[in-house]
Amino acid sequence: MSYDLAVWQGDVPSNDREAARVHSHLYDEYLDGDELFPVVSVVADFLAALTERWPDRDTGDDTPWASTPLSAGASGPYVYIALAWSSADMASAYVAQVANRFGLNCFDPQMKVLRSR
């Protein structure tokens, strides 16, 4: 079981309900098909920043990632990240902070809220 976050490039949704709708649309468009799209540069830079802190070559006690590589969940302007439950509080705050730094939206599908930190 993992704690998931969705991050994407685009306009900031007006509220959490709109963010949930955008997330669902982007997931269906970019990850639910047979083909992944080239990742936009800001998402690639975002992933590089995350993996600079915690390399994504493996899962385990020394990393918050529940699934690697992170690029497997990235397509176009969208990335879906699975975190280990044991580090979800700390790691999700860091992911949201880095997403904010890159001007990306961060959405928590469990809580159905936009995350800024």
Q: What is the mean pLDDT of residues 104-108?
A: 98
SS3 (DSSP) at 82 = strand
pTM of the model: 0.94
Q: Which residues pair with 94 in a beta bridge?
A: none
Q: Which residues pair with 43 in a beta bridge?
A: none
What pLDDT, on a 0 to 100 scale, did the predictor assign at position 31?
A: 96
pLDDT tens digit string along 59-97?
A: 667 889 999 999 999 999 999 999 999 999 999 999 999
pLDDT tens digit string along 11-38?
A: 999 999 999 999 999 999 999 988 999 9
